Amino acid sequence: MAHTYEFARPALTVDIVVLALDEEDLQVMLIERDLKPYEGQWALPGGFVRVDETLEEAARRELEEETGLKDIYLEQLYTFGDIKRDPRERVVTVTYYALVNLEGHDVHASTDARNAAWFSVNDLPKLAFDHETILSAAHERLRGKVRYQPIGFELLPEKFTLRQMQHLYEVILDRELDKRNFRKKVLGMEIVKETKEIEKDVAHRAARLYRFDKRRYDKLTKQGFNFEI
């Protein structure tokens, strides 16, 4: 059934940047488009907002339909509305981003998209639309966030080494950090607690495992701090 309006309306979509961490890099979830435009190219998951769903509901629905990812904490990123960002017609997109632990989520292709997969943000295919800009904005937001909020709860496994945590910060900030300073800062903030366990099955000397002190972590998230490293 066609819908008629007095004035022309931009189409409204959502696009979602899902970021995860592996041993090497920050990873982003992409889908292979099976429709024009950009057929066969990789893109962020996303699609049109229905009139009877909120923006976040639309983002959750599209993400699950296209990648199988669900029950993820989404945060609104930015709304992109350049006139020519979609070659078909005027499309405004509200973007969301999420940080997930790679281990906890099964990913599968769906009926909506040919293929869904993780890509290293440092080794990306050419993306459809302005999705490179959107991904950069998500990375930038994350880079800003680590300066004044604790980070990692969603990205690291439940128990982790300080080396893993430093690696996370290095990947987000895209530079190497001094090991001693980093540990001093993290332990000083009291957001992590030592466990009695050490790493298993590692070639190097097994390191102590830590976990987040969720109460302290949430308090600092609310209150903010300055993580100058």
Is 76 an interacting residue with respect to its own copies (CB under 8 A)? yes
Q: Is 144 in the site for its own copies (CB under 8 A)?
A: yes
- Report d(CA 140, CA 146) in Å as an integer: 10
Q: Is 9 helix (H, G, I), strand (E, B) or coil?
A: coil
Stated as kind and residue range, the H or E segment containing 55 is helix 55-67
Tokens representing residue 189 in the block: 């903030």
Residue 20: beta bridge partners?
Answer: 27, 100
Q: Does 3 bind its own copies (CB under 8 A)?
A: yes
Nearer to its own copies, 27 or 46 (CB): 46
Q: Which stretch binds its own copies (CB under 8 A): 39-47, 87-95, 151-159, 169-177?
A: 87-95
Residue-wise burial string across 160-187, b where 16 or more C-beta atoms lie within 10 A, e elsewhere: bbbebbbbbbebbeeeeeeeeebbebbe
* CB 48, min distance to its own copies, A: 7
Cα distance between the two ends of the chain: 57
188 lies in the binding site for its own copies (CB under 8 A): no
The least distance separating its own copies from the CB of residue 106, rounded to whole angstroms, comes to 29
Print the binding letters for residues 15-54 with its own copies: x by CB under 8 A, - otherwise.
---------------------------------xxxxxxx
Structure tokens at 83: 């006139």
Q: Sign of torsion, CA 24 68 58 152?
A: negative
The least distance separating its own copies from the CB of residue 120, rounded to whole angstroms, comes to: 27
Nearer to its own copies by C-beta: 29 or 77? 77
Residues that bind its own copies (CB under 8 A): 2-12, 48-56, 76, 78-79, 81-83, 90, 92, 94, 144, 147-148, 224-226, 228
